[in-house]
Amino acid sequence: MAVYYSFYIECYQEQDAVRIHDKLRAWTTEVHGREISMARVLVEPEGELWYVYANPKGPGYSPFGYGEGLNEPETVALLEDRLYELIASEVGIRRALCGYEAQDVFRSGGDNLLDLEDLDVHNLVFDRNLKPQREGVMELGSLYYRTRRRS
């Protein structure tokens, strides 16, 4: 069972990460009659990149999650769509991912080294400059591609 539901955003520059952090802190949405806001939003540098880590209240089974009702696949998919829409026009994002234990995707092995080349992740948003469009990728705004969700 996944404990943390996270939204991880990898940015090229600190000012972009801080701007997105502030936007996420103020963000709320309603999903199936439940209001969802962020329980925690952090910005941290790692290497030459900046990371925004956000945990929405609701999905997951951590202290931030409700467990009941907000872990249904349709509800999670709707929440992910809304979070991705929120960043679709933001500049400076390299990659972003919503999901259970999303923090693990940007790490290789157990040594906490970032795997900067991995773009073959389900439901990943990434900068169009990283790799040409390939099958199974859709446009997200004018700056990003989004890979398909796992079926």
Q: What is the pLDDT of residues 40-77, one digit of tens each?
A: 999 999 989 999 999 999 898 888 887 677 888 899 99
* pTM for this predicted structure: 0.90
Is residue 36 within 8 A of residue 95, CB to CB? The reply is no
Residue 131 CB coordination number (10 Å)? 13
Contacts of 112 by beta carbon, 8 Å cutoff, 6+ apart: none
Among 42, 32, 38, which residue's Cα sits nearest to residue 11?
42
Q: What is the pLDDT of residues 16-42, one digit of tens each?
A: 999 999 999 999 999 888 889 999 999
Question: How many residues belong to the chain?
Answer: 151
Half-sphere exposure of 39 (CA within 13 A, CB side): 15
